[in-house]
Structure 1
Amino acid sequence: MQPITLSGRFATLEPLEQHHLPGLIEAASDGKLWTLFFTTVPNPDNIQTWFDIAIGLQKEGKALPFVIRENFSGNIVGSTRYCNVDAANKRLEIGYTWYAKRVQRTAINTECKLMLLRHAFEDLHCNAVEFRTDWFNQPSQRAIERLGAKRDGVLRNHTILPNGRVRDTVVYSILDSEWNGVRQNLTFKLERPTE
């Protein structure tokens, strides 16, 4: 996987670079997203560490991190990445996704997922794309289900978080055989930008 820019009507996904950090801090500050116990949004105090980890995984071929730029304002409004890349089995996960509070539940998320899924299935020829979220992150679960992903199950006591809490992880996926229907669903939702 090589860094790539994906552009749509509402948003552009740009490969994560050092100069994006001030914009990411501003986006995360809209809603103080790092205070949510069920997600891993970088705190302004540790954003360099977050960046270094993301770029390190990219160099190892295990991830491809992006910033999300709102086309209308030109501002960075969040971040996402391909992660847990399993090239041998043609699988990857879309994760570490977060948005400034003001753009949550807008067409930006739908369009970003459409662009990422299209690239994964049509350019990278993935067999499956996975999504994972915390058991307590109900908004994320609903958003993943609205995409058309199917719930595979729950990994109990899956991850020890920095605060010591042991997280149950809810796993969803979309298969290549389901991509055509999911693509039509997301395209339809984008024609109604309130989704």
Structure 2
Amino acid sequence: MWASPLRLSGESVSLTPLTQDHQADLAEAAAAGELHQLWYTSVPHPAEMAAEIDHRQSLRAAGSMAPFAILDHDGRAVGMTTYMNIDATNRRLEIGSTWYRKSVQRSGINTECKFLMLSHAFETLDAIAVEFRTHRLNRQSRAAIERLGAQLDGILRAHMILSNGTIRDTAIYSITAAEWPTIRPHLLHLLGR
């Protein structure tokens, strides 16, 4: 598989292929802050974490997703992220289905995770573009994506029906391979390196 899951390590965080071994930490992380109750995003309910991990692993087996557990410096799983919508033919993928324990949000972990994933996508996989998608009304997520240096490609209006029955307009952002040489030092600056 072109974007197969592997371990990516940074200074304060590492990404490792998602397994059921991460289930207890991730259930606790989702429960802390009741993230599963946010209406505009999809964080698994703590009691459904094992099923979510199984679901992501089935998508990995089908070649459409490479799911990761996000580990802090103590090795505790504090969230999940994925390479998804993998298009090996056109060397494009999306970084998404990302969520973090409330206590590590706005801590720099997201920036380092995205730096690791973008570096791997552009420098190892030779991707031509990496996408990010979020609910148009998820201001926190949109601000984090924009802080990375991604450009808004547009809004897909009435794109999805969410589990609560509301209609999602999806904001689509991307970083292209031509932009990566400028984005890379920007992210290193944000990380204080």
Q: Do they fold alike, i.e. is TM over 0.5? A: yes
For residue 44 of structure 1, what is the aligned residue in structure 2?
A: 46
SS of the residue aligned with 2:165? coil
- Structure 1 residues 29-178: aligned runs within 5 Å: 29-71=31-73, 73-178=74-179
Q: Which residue identity lines up with residue 188 of structure 2 in the other structure?
A: T
List per-residue Cα deviations over 1:128-186 (Å, max 9, x = no partner).
00000001100000000000000000001111111111110000000000001111000
Instruction: Give the counterpart of 1:4 among 3, 6, 12.
Output: 6
> C-alpha displacement at 1:48, in angstroms?
2.4
Structure 2: gaps of 5 or more residues: none
- Structure 1 residues 20-31: aligned runs within 5 Å: 20-31=22-33
Q: Whole-Å Cα distance in 2 between the matches of residues 74 and 130 of structure 1?
A: 28
Q: Which residue identity lines up with residue 12 of structure 2 in the other structure?
A: F
- Name the TM-score, length of structure 2 as normaliser: 0.96
Q: Whole-Å Cα distance in 1 between the matches of residues 107 and 181 of structure 2?
A: 23
Q: Whole-Å Cα distance in 2 between the matches of residues 5 and 102 of structure 1?
A: 23
SS of the residue aligned with 1:130? strand
Contact 2:136 2:170 in 1 (8 A): yes
Q: Which residue identity lines up with residue 35 of structure 2 in the other structure?
A: L
List per-residue Cα deviations over 1:51-102 (Å, max 9, x = no partner).
122111101111100010101x332111100000011111000001111111
Q: Whole-Å Cα distance in 1 between the matches of residues 183 and 61 of structure 2?
A: 31
Structure 1: gaps of 5 or more residues: none
For residue 187 of structure 2, what is the aligned residue in structure 1?
A: 186
Aligned residues: 191
